[in-house]
Amino acid sequence: MRRCVWGSTVVLALFAALVPGVSAQAATEHRAKPIPLERLFDNVAVSDDARPAEADFDGAGASLSAQDLSAAGWTPGRALTVQGARLTWPRRQPGEPDNVRANGQDVRVGGRGDALAFLVAGTNGTIAGGTGTVLYTDGTRSAYRLTAPDWRTGPLATKAVALPHINTRAGQLAERARLYVMTVPLVVGRQVASVRLPQASGLHVFAVSVRAPAPGWTGSWAAATGGYPTVGPWTDRTLRLVVHTSAGGPRVRLRFDNTFAAAPVRIGSATVAVQQAGAAARGTPVAVTFRGTAGVEIPAGAQAYSDPLAFQVPADTNLLVSFHLPGTVPAAPVHRLAQQRSYVSGPGDHTADGSAAPYGTVLTSWPLLTGVDVGGGPGSVVLLGDSITDGDKSTTDANRRWPNVLATRLLNQSVVPHYGVLNQGISGNRVVSDRYPGDGVSTDTAGVSALYRFDRDVLAQTSARTAVVFEGINDVRWQTTAEQVIAGLREIADRGHARGLRMLVATILPCEGEVRCTAAVDAERVKVNQWIRTSAGFDGVLDFDAVIRDPARPSRMLPAYDSGDHLHPGDAGLAALAESIDLRGLVP
């Protein structure tokens, strides 16, 4: 007997014709149930270097190198945490289908969270994207827009990982291949049932997951990665970093980021302790674990969270976070301007040592460690800024950055919740242009633009409730127009609002007397500030310019607040900024 095979279009049309009142559009809702993404794979992106013809990612015979992926730690079936989302690199061998070309497929995805995370890349030579739909278990839906930069020409600043080669049938090219993690907002609190992918030519999806919330956690300390410079090199060394908490709590977890890296990094063990003095701990440091083991290997571009640890974290106190690097680390993701002395040991694992004796070398940056979370609490306020937020010219080891003063104010009052304060300032950072391109070993650690780092440094931060944006002076000092800065600030506000954050913005400080702060630069600064004060794009304004400027000469800082370089406030000026904030305005 001959079997008849009908196409889905014919079936849907027949269904619509036979059932009264059912349109063709409604009939599409009765298509096959959603299935896991891997069962929809219809494209081969990865080839073995010896057999490049076994894959055709872009329709022109080019593909990703399996050997390059392995060298980056992106091995088949490996779970990767990027921007707080846990995604799995496809469990496929080279030459096997490993991704989906987005064409309206229904994918089974579960969980509750604040965002959907997609591991994606485009192959059209430009941004690929389209609109999809999320279906929740209660029957409701929400639309989302997903875009993917091109795997060969997209920005390196926002990539999850870059690989050094592209395989082609004619041979291997020394050209960077990029993969991206893109997030889109969910309706918070609703259980996701499935996701309909966009119909978007050239958009390839390797993995998708719900970024789970972090209930019961508050961000207490954070640092933003500004580059990937040479270090050490460190071989069999222990780093003991000194960090200052904002909120306290009865539990702790640590976050390490291998941002911008091309290779994995291994942490052999890690501990946490309250600082006694210098590198000496108060009591015995307590070990943290990573999924039940003492150490963890962090793939290139990924991050690792330690397991929750019952450890009483005092508020407004210095902690010692120690971690052993058993292998050789010649370069690392770094937050350069710590304004805090940390320490490096001689050879060996000294994470459990309470004594300062093994730690003979002073370190003035924060490598790899990007977050300390505490149990409980109401969530966090994230401060996105440049060197003024970073604490440049504040007293070293004294925690007199304006975010520290704000955190102390929050702790010493009872009008608003005791939010954690996360300082995401990077010295030299700009709103709309990159100082560091986002890939390769760097000599510049001023970071990618605020626009490019916003997802990682604000949206993905633990329990973020409110964000304050305080940037722009470096843009106008380097001839970016007021209109360009305003457009960047407007985009940041819109992206924060789309994720449910309360968005505040601060006016830019005057800097007459600094070599680049000409009258023309000040005119652009004034234009930006006028827009900030009159625009409805943000939920509130912190008028830091009005606090710091000299009333007799508004283009310069009040001398009492000037650190002496005419660009950065000193301790008194930084305190004045924090004291000027109406704390009620931080509440969502």
pLDDT given at position 31:
58
pLDDT given at position 15:
34
Q: What is the residue whose two structure tokens read 């106008």?
A: 476
Helix, strand, coil percent values for the chain (each to nearest 5): 20, 40, 45
Q: Which residues pair with 164 in a beta bridge?
A: none
The pTM of the full predicted model, rounded to 2 decimals, is: 0.93
pLDDT in single tens digits along all 588 residues of the chain:
333 333 333 333 333 333 333 333 433 444 579 999 999 999 999 999 999 999 999 999 999 999 999 999 999 999 999 999 999 999 999 999 999 999 999 999 999 999 999 999 999 999 999 999 999 999 999 999 999 999 999 999 999 999 999 999 999 999 999 999 999 999 989 999 999 999 999 999 999 999 988 889 999 999 999 999 999 999 999 999 999 999 999 999 999 999 999 999 999 999 999 999 999 999 999 999 999 999 999 999 999 999 999 999 999 999 999 999 999 999 999 999 999 999 999 999 999 999 999 999 999 999 999 999 999 999 999 999 999 999 999 999 999 999 999 999 999 999 999 999 999 999 999 999 999 999 999 999 999 999 999 999 999 999 999 999 999 999 999 999 999 999 999 999 999 999 999 999 999 999 999 999 999 999 999 999 999 999 999 999 999 999 999 999 999 999 999 999 999 999 999 999 999 999 999 999
Nearest to 71 by CA among 302, 298, 303, 264: 264
Q: How far is CA 132 from CA 105, 121, 197, 201, 500, in A?
A: 10, 16, 5, 13, 20
pLDDT given at position 213:
84
Pairing of strands 502-506, 464-470: parallel
Q: Using only C-alpha atoms, what is the Rg of the chain?
A: 25
pLDDT given at position 22:
34
How many Cα atoms are found within 13 Å in the side-chain-facing hemisphere of 6? 8
Helix and strand element counts for the chain (H, E): 11, 37
Run of H or E residues at 178: strand 177-185
Nearest to 100 by CA among 206, 219, 226, 245: 206
